[in-house]
Amino acid sequence: MKIVMLGAPGAGKGTQAEMLAKKYDIPHVSTGDIFRMNIKNGTELGMEAKKYMDQGLLVPDELTVRILLDRVAKEDCTKGYVLDGFPRNIPQANVLDDALSKLGDKIDYAINVDVPDENIIRRMSGRRACLACGATYHIEHVPPKKEGICDKCGQELVLRDDDKPETVKNRLQVYKEQTQPLIDFYGKKGILHNVDGTQDMNEVFEAIVAILG
């Protein structure tokens, strides 16, 4: 079972990917995690990616796919995997499809966690983070016991720059331009499934599980 998770920043696709990985006992494959792991382990692919990252450049699609394929070739991926954060655009999706087809393989499901922009802006601007210990909260859904103070270490909670409404709007715009076309891409392949991401986290999960069967 090979799954691609789609959805705007803040739609909750990462959380759903983790839950699916746990339920089906398949790896949650995040490109960010793979890059960090390869760089930490000093692999040839990791060092190649690091050259671009050190210059503040995006890692080329071909190299990203090579690192991704290296990861999904591992034994723990034989039953499948959940891809989170890749592909981000049509060129990446094409490179991934071509590489998988050469291996006689393909993506089985593309799950789009659909959440309106205004919900995402409200959801993300309600996040609060503790810069001291890394704990995260939400003023509506997971509030700290004492307003503005971390339960774990007692330090002040902050609204991170990337969660501020104006930043979120910019990220959503980039998503619409680059990533949203993937919805049409996977729709034409007949493997796209839309899920209402405004529901409770567990209801979203149940809807996805119903699709996967």
Nearest to 78 by CA among 96, 97, 105, 54: 105
Residue 143 belongs to some domain of the structure: yes
Name the pLDDT band for 118 (thresholds 50, 70, 90).
Answer: very high
Residue 46 belongs to some domain of the structure: no
What is the structure's pLDDT at 189? 95
Residue 107 belongs to some domain of the structure: yes
Give me the catalytic one of 13, 71, 123, 128. 13
Name the pLDDT band for 19 (thresholds 50, 70, 90).
Answer: very high
What is the structure's pLDDT at 129? 93
Domain that holds residue 88: 2-27+74-212
Give me the catalytic one of 71, 88, 123, 128. 88
Catalytic residue flag (residue 122):
no
Residue 57 belongs to some domain of the structure: no
Distance between first and last Cα of the chain: 11
Residue 32 belongs to some domain of the structure: no
Q: State the CATH number of the domain containing residue 82.
A: 3.40.50.300
Name the pLDDT band for 62 (thresholds 50, 70, 90).
Answer: confident
Q: Could you tell me the two tokens for 172?
A: 């959503």
What is the structure's pLDDT at 132? 92
Catalytic residue flag (residue 106):
no
Residue 42 belongs to some domain of the structure: no
Domain count, the chain: 1
What CA–CA distance (Å, rounded) separates 150 from 133? 9
Name the pLDDT band for 33 (thresholds 50, 70, 90).
Answer: confident
Sheet strand arrangement including 81-84: 28-30, 81-84, 2-6, 109-114, 192-196
Does this model's pTM top 0.75? My answer is: yes
Give me the catalytic one of 74, 160, 169, 189. 160
What is the structure's pLDDT at 162? 83
Residue 196 belongs to some domain of the structure: yes
Catalytic residue flag (residue 71):
no
Nearest to 176 by CA among 47, 1, 9: 9
Residue 142 belongs to some domain of the structure: yes
